Structures are given as C-alpha cells and as structure tokens.
A and B are shown apart, each in its own frame.
Chain A
Amino acid sequence: GAVVSQHPSWVICKSGTSVKIECRSLDFQATTMFWYRQFPKQSLMLMATSNEGSKATYEQGVEKDKFLINHASLTLSTLTVTSAHPEDSSFYICSVRKQGQETQYFGPGTRLLVL
C-alpha cells in the first residue's frame, strides 16, 4: 500500500475566503496525484490530475482558476479553493499512484464547510 496524509482534516470558512489543502505521500515519491470531490452520498468525482513539475490536468467542468493545484515536489500536492462559496462545501480527497502501477491510494480526505 501507500501512506497518504491530508491536512487539514476539516475546515470551516467564511464565503469569499481561500482554503489550501495539502496532500502528502509519506512513504514514496509520487509523480502523479489526483484530486477528487465527493458530495454527500455521492460518488467520487475526479477534479484534476496533478503532475509533479508541470501544470495539472483538469477534468471538464472544473474551473482551473478556482481550484488551484500545485505539485511542487514528489511528495506534496496542494489544492487551493479560491473565493470559496457554500456550494464548494464538500469532501475533498487526494490519491497517489505509484509509478508504473494503476492502483490509487487515498488520503483521509478534507471536509470543507463554507458558511
């Protein structure tokens, strides 16, 4: 398996503020990380694929200027929700994939509540 951490585990913020979520791969270097969003009782929806040292690849319908992704090192990717609004409230989960493998290992997730 793989050990993946996320910080913070939960955050409550006011509408209009920006929130940064960190995803760390603790036991191996991850060239690729993924960011998902999950609304209550729904499935995981891929938001973007984060590649170390290059621009993230966003899924259709995901605003790249709103959800800023930075994968500056092989062990850290960050997702910044800019000017958050109540409809951005969700469970944000990252995952990592070992090079050459197709299995993904998920972090514990970050619950965001925008008031």
Chain B
Amino acid sequence: GQQVMQIPQYQHVQEGEDFTTYCNSSTTLSNIQWYKQRPGGHPVFLIQLVKSGEVKKQKRLTFQFGEAKKNSSLHITATQTTDVGTYFCAGYIQGAQKLVFGQGTRLTINP
C-alpha cells in the first residue's frame, strides 16, 4: 500500500541549533502537508505544498517539496524551546482522497 516514511524518528538538539526532518513517499503525491503536535495535544496544520520543487517559508521554518513530488523536508533554523513537539508529514493520495501520515519526528530541545 501507499507508504510515507519519515526520518529521523527522534531528534534532540541544543536550543539555537538547526533541525531537519525528511519525508519520502513510495508514490507520487498530489500534495504534502505538514503538521505539528505538541505533547498531549492534537495535530495542528502548518502548511501545504502542491507544486513540484516548491519552497515555502514561515519565519524560521522552511518547507520543500521535491521535484518528483515524492519527498519533502522541513527545516527549522535556530530552534527555540517553543518548537518542541512531533512534526508529521502527510501525503495526499489523490486517487484515494486521503492523507497518509509519516511516522513523525519527535523534536526535543535542551535549553
């Protein structure tokens, strides 16, 4: 079946360091979405990437969608303690009209 793989599973950084999580799909995606889930909370929508090669920025967060629309990355510059949480990518499978979530990357930060 359709799979979306996300790495790393865990990442621990010092505050101020950068952080990147990667997402790869076994199939071409219609779009990819990124969500953040704080500990004890629910996923919160961050962004959606649709176009091949698309790059979007939200302050210190940079999102990329690969040329083949099979991979994506989220990069956080100069992490802050408020960035703590689990970041999920979710690929939209157009034929199935559903999101397939990656395993998530849990980010912890040492202040």
Residues of A within 8 A of B (CB): 1, 34, 41-46, 49, 60, 93, 102-109
Contact = CB atoms under 8 A, between A and B. Distances in A.
Interface residues of B, number: 23
Most central of A49, A60, A103 by chain B CB within 10 Å: A103
Interface of A is mostly: loop
Interface of B: 1, 30-31, 33, 35, 41-45, 48, 88, 90, 92, 97-104, 106
B92 A102 contact: yes
Nearest to B1: A60
Contacts of B33: 102-104
A45 B44 CA distance: 16
Given A44-B88, A44-B101, A108 B42 contact: yes
Contact of A107 (B42, B98, B101): B42
